[in-house]
Amino acid sequence: MARPIGAVTVMLSVMLCLTLLAPVPARAKEQLVYWPLVTNGTEYRRISYPHQAGSLVVLANTEVVIEARYAPVSYWPITREYLADFSQKLRLANGNIEIVDESGKITVVAPEPYVLWYPAGVGAGMSVLARGTEALELYEDYVKDARSAAEAAQEYQRIVAERHAAAAAWMRMAAERPKFLPPPPPELTLEEPERFQAFATEPREAAVISLPEGAYTVRIRDAGNQIVPGSERKLVSFGALNQAVGYVLRPADRWTQPIFSFAPDETIYTAGRTDLFFQPVPVVQYEARRFTRLFRPQSVEITDPTLTMWVPREESDVLADGAALALWHGDSVTATSPRTPYRVVQLAAASRGYTIEEFAPTSNSSLKPDFYAMRVGGDSAVTRVSLFLGDSGKPASVSERQIRQVSLPAEPLLFLPALLPLAVGLALRLWARAALSRDRRTKAS
C-alpha cells in the first residue's frame, strides 16, 4: 500500500520556503555604541546609538548621562534598525568624555555619581536625575524611608493578625457559652500606613552633561591622550519653541474619557448637555522631527521639518493655589471657576450611575480626590476661557481657548439612515411586483 506522502512533502516544502524568505538579521559586528540616558522632559530612557543611528539628540538644558560600550550590532530588517546587543556583560569605552562646541571649545566631563529618582514609583509619573553629592544623599534618604515604611507595614500586619486571632479565640469561647464571658476585643482603630511607592536606582558613576541649544561633537580620549577610534560623534541639543497652557477636559457624563487640548489655536466644541471639568497643564512646543528622535533615533518616518508638536509637562505654577478659570462671554468676564478637588461617587443601586461632587476631606479619612479641575456648567453661555494664576490675578501666558456650542440633531432623526436600506428594499420589491403585473397583463391581452 502506497504511503500518502505527497501532502506532507508539500507542507514541508512550503515551511522551508517560508523559513528561507523570513527576515534574518545581518551578522553582528562589534563597534563602539553610545548608550546615553536622555529625557523628554518627563521620563528618562536609555537610548542605543550605534554608528548607523547618526547624531545623538538631547533636550537642551536637561541632565543627560553619557556612556559608551563595545557591543555587537546587527541590522534588523523588520523595523529597519541597527540593534545593539546589551544582554551580555560588555566592556566599557574607558576614557574621558569631551564635548566640543561650534567654536572649538573643549569641555572635559569627569565621571560623577548619579541616581535616577521616581517620586511616584516606576512608570507612575515623572523621573528625575540627581547628580553628585545630591544623588548620594537622595539615595541614602530613600533607603531610610523605604526601610521605615517596610517596618511600619510589617508592624501593622502583625497588629492586624493578632487582633484577628484574638477575635477568633473570643468567638470560639462564646460558642461554648461559658458562665462568665469576657468582653470581646476592642475594634481596631489603627489606620493602615500609606504605601511607599518612590524608587531610586543605586548610585553609579558616569559623565553627566547639560547643554544649551546648539551643535556639538562628543568624543572619548583615552589614558594615552588619544581619541578612541569610532568615538567621535555629532550631538544636537534642541530646545522649546514656545510655551503655553493646555487643558485636559473631562465631560461629566464620561469623566474617564478625557479630551486633550494642547495647541493654543484649538477651539473647544461642546453640545452644552453636560458640565466640563478643565484641568490646566503646562505644554511646550518643539520641532516634531527632533522631538520624535529623542526616543526613536532610527525612525524611518520622514517628518516635515516645518511641523511642530505640543508636549505636556509636569504640574507647575499653572496649578498653584488660587488659580482660577475665567469664563468669558464676549469681551467681559461673567464668572470664575476655582481649582477644586472632586471625587466620583457611585450611586446606590445603579450599575453605571455616578455623581461628581466636591471633595471635602476629614481629619480621620484616608480618601483622596479623584482629580482637581475647574468646573464649567454645560448650560452656561461661555464663549471663551482663560486661566488666571494664584492670588495675583495675572493671566497665564497663552491660556485662552475659544468655546463653540453646536446643536445636535434631534435623536429620532439619528435613526433615519438605518431605515434607508429598508426603504430601498421595499421600493425594489414594489417595482418588481409592478413589473410582474405588467407582464401578466401583456400576456393575457
Extract the C-alpha cell encoding 368.
483622596
Q: State residue 154's pLDDT score.
A: 93
d(Cα 50, Cα 81) in Å, to the nearest integer? 10
Residues 39, 168: one domain?
A: no
One domain, residues 164 and 284: no
Decide if 120 is inside a domain. no
91 and 224 share one domain: yes
Do the domain assignments include residue 118? Answer: no
- 3 state SS for the chain: CCCCCHHHHHHHHHHHHHHHHCCCCCCCEEEEEECCEEECCCCEEECCECHHHCCEEEECCCCEEECEEEEEEEEECCCCEEEECCCCCCCECCCEEEEECCCCCEEEECCEEEEEEECCCCCCCCCEEEEHHHHHHHHHHHHHHHHHHHHHHHHHHHHHHHHHHHHHHHHHHHHCCCCCCCCCCCCCCCCCCCCCCCEECCCEEEEEECCCCEEEEEEEECCCCCECCCCCEEEEEECCCEEEEEEEEEECCCCCCCEEECCCCCEEEECCCCCEEEEEEEEEEEEHHHHCCCCCCCCCCCCCCCCEEEEECCCCHHHCCCCEEEEEECCEEEEEEECEEEEEEECCCCCCCEEEEECCCCCCCCCCCCEEEEEECCCCCCCEEEEEECCCCEECCCCCEEEEECCCCCHHHHHHHHHHHHHHHHHHHHHHHHHHHHHHHHHHC
For residues 154 and 269, state if they share a domain.
Answer: no
- Within 13 A of 319's CA, how many CA atoms are on the CB side? 19
- Give the integer Cα–Cα distance in Å for 107 and 66: 14
Q: Is the same domain home to 102 and 160? A: no
What is the per-residue pLDDT for 44?
A: 93
Identify whether residues 308 and 390 lie together within a single domain.
yes
Q: What is the mean pLDDT of each run of 10 residues along the chain (445 residues)?
A: 53 55 62 93 92 93 93 89 85 87 92 92 85 94 94 92 90 86 84 88 94 95 89 94 92 90 91 89 91 87 80 68 83 88 83 83 76 87 85 76 80 67 81 79 71
Q: What is the pLDDT of residue 305?
A: 78
The confidence score (pLDDT) of residue 350 equals 62
pTM of the model: 0.74
Domain count, the chain: 3
Tell whether 293 and 330 lie within a shared domain: yes
- Write down the pLDDT at residue 250: 93
Q: Is residue 255 part of a domain?
A: yes
Asked if residue 425 belongs to a domain, the reply is no
From the number of C-beta atoms within 10 Å of its C-beta (0-12, 13-18, 19+), residue 326 rates as buried
Q: Does a structural domain hold residue 444?
A: no
| Together in a domain, 222 and 253 | no
User: What pLDDT was estimated at residue 283?
Assistant: 92
- Residue 90 structural domain: 21-112+207-238
| Residue 1: predicted pLDDT | 45
Kindly compute the dihedral angle of the four CA atoms of residues 431, 437, 443, 445, in this order, to the nearest 10 degrees.
Answer: -120
Same domain, yes or no: 267 and 152: no
Q: What is the structure's pLDDT at 80?
A: 87
Does some domain include residue 230?
yes
- Domain contains 341: yes
Tell me the one-letter amino acid at 398.
V
97 and 218 within one domain: yes
Q: Does 253 lie in the same domain as 228?
A: no
What residues contact residue 149 under an 8 Å CB cut-off, 6+ apart?
193, 194, 195, 196
Q: In what order do the strands lie in the sheet with 68-76?
A: 29-34, 68-76, 81-84
Domain boundary among 147, 169, 199: 199
**What integer pLDDT is reported at residue 95 of this predicted model?**
86
Residue 54 lies in a domain: yes
Please check whether residues 265 and 376 belong to one and the same domain. Answer: yes
